[in-house]
Amino acid sequence: MKSHWELNAHSYDQIPMHKLDDQRAVIARTMQVNEKFAGTRPRGWFGPGLTQTDEMLDYLAEARVEYIGDWMLDDEPVTLRTSSRPVVALPYNFGIHDIGMMAFQHRASMRGRISSQTPQGFSSLTRLRAPPTISFALPPATPR
């Protein structure tokens, strides 16, 4: 946090959201635990296993989540309507998704893919008015 990194909420229970009995309660617990740990409330949400439900955006907006990071919608951020306030969907690239890369390949491959995406991503987005964005999940270091 001191380095201006942000801790995002990723669900206290690592179960697909549609299998939970009370999604609101899990979102609230996730936000509380993250805020207690980091000292600030998370602004973003990444769903466990990239799962969402029809009600999910409304629940996240109620919990004051400002953006989500696991919907592959576009090459640039998109503002989504909810019943209470807008939520921004950040671009997400499944080609450099952490689970697939870590399960089927290795760290060196993930570094290479991220590096190769950066110049291509930025050069192809010069026509946009908004700053280009490249999102990827970076899991904690694991033993080699």
Same domain, 70 and 103: no
Instruction: Specify if 47 maps to a domain.
Output: yes
**Residue 69: CB partners within 8 Å, gap ≥ 6?**
8, 44, 45, 46, 89, 90, 92, 135, 137
Q: Binning pLDDT at 50, 70 and 90, where does residue 69 land? A: confident
Same domain, 45 and 101: no
**DSSP for 6-57, written as a single string:** -PPB--SS-S-GGG-S-HHHHHHHHHHHHHHHHSS---EE--GGG---TTHH
CB 12 within 8 A of CB 26: yes
Query: Range of 125's domain?
Result: 95-138
Q: What percent of the chain has pLDDT over 90?
A: 31
Q: How many domains does the chain have?
A: 2
Give pLDDT tens digits for 34-50. 999 988 899 999 888 77
Instruction: Specify if 121 maps to a domain.
Output: yes
Give pLDDT tens digits for 101-130. 666 665 566 666 666 665 555 555 555 556
Q: How far apart are CA 98 and CA 111, in angstroms?
A: 11
Is pLDDT at 91 greater than 70 in this prediction?
A: yes
What is residue 80's predicted lDDT score, i.e. its pLDDT? 92
Is pLDDT at 83 greater than 90 in this prediction?
A: yes
Same domain, 60 and 118: no
Instruction: Specify if 3 maps to a domain.
Output: yes
Same domain, 16 and 83: yes
Give pTM, 2 decimals.
Answer: 0.72
Instruction: Specify if 123 maps to a domain.
Output: yes
Is pLDDT at 141 greater than 60 in this prediction?
A: no
Instruction: Specify if 67 maps to a domain.
Output: yes
